[in-house]
Amino acid sequence: MAGEGEGGARGASRTLPRIGLDGAARVGAPAGKGEDGAAVVRGRAVIFGGTFDPIHVAHLVLGECASELPGVSEVLFVPAARPPHKREEEISGAADRARMVLLAIDGNARFRFSPIEIDRRGPSFAIDTIREVAEKSGARPFYLIGADSLFDLPLWRSPEAILEEAEVIVAERPGAEALETSVLGGRVGRISAPRIDLSSTEIRARAGRGASIRYL
């Protein structure tokens, strides 16, 4: 996953008219309203952000494991419009990455594409996404990150607010528990997921030299 930048902010209910993506899911919308007019919450969302350049099987497996957490109703895949730590020329365009996500998650009833960060444009900050999704859903969301991003979390924008306003979860990896205890005060949950040694960088390199990327 990307570092600080796995998030977004305003415009959660829009469907990406600017880049022509048909069928983009509306994000974090309540199921309806009760008799008193209050929002009826379907369940908690898992926010899974990243550059997704490209999305690959390891992302999907991790998302599937997160979807099995108690109380989870959906896993929101949130492509970052412009991660603060990357130059624009280093990544594919937002429209292309969004389409790759839509194709990859098609067929999984719990996976949903979220355009909230792409709609917002500008740098992507996790705390903005967390607040947007929480406001729309009426529930404290999970925030899923990779172990590599966990080490950078103390350097993100408003790390204390992130830990307070979302339940941060990370795939179990060597060293993650030590960091969680020493730096984050044991406030990060862990989920068990098969380890797949694959990266978007590796996929781009294979594609660049004409090697097969089927099933990746």
Sequence ranges of the domains in the chain: 17-24+44-208
The 8-class DSSP code of residue 182 comes to H
Per DSSP, the residues of 100-159 read HHHHHHTT-TTEEE--HHHHH-SB--HHHHHHHHHHHHSSPPEEEE-HHHHTTGGGSSSH
Amino acid identity of residue 81, one-letter, is A
The answer to whether residues 107 and 63 touch, using CB atoms and an 8 Å cutoff, is: no
Dihedral sign of CA atoms 61, 188, 137, 23 in order: negative
The answer to whether residues 114 and 48 touch, using CB atoms and an 8 Å cutoff, is: no
Question: Is CATH 3.90.45.10 what the domain over 17-24+44-208 is classified as, yes or no?
Answer: no
The per-residue pLDDT for range 90-149, each reduced to its tens digit, is 789 999 999 999 999 999 999 999 999 999 877 889 999 999 999 999 999 999 988 778
Amino acid identity of residue 201, one-letter, is T
The per-residue pLDDT for range 21-52, each reduced to its tens digit, is 433 333 333 334 444 444 444 689 999 999 99
Whether pTM > 0.85 for this model: the answer is: no
Query: What's the token pair of residue 163?
Result: 């830990």
The reported pLDDT for the residue numbered 89 is 59
The reported pLDDT for the residue numbered 82 is 75
The per-residue pLDDT for range 146-188, each reduced to its tens digit, is 877 887 888 999 999 999 999 999 887 655 555 555 556 678 8
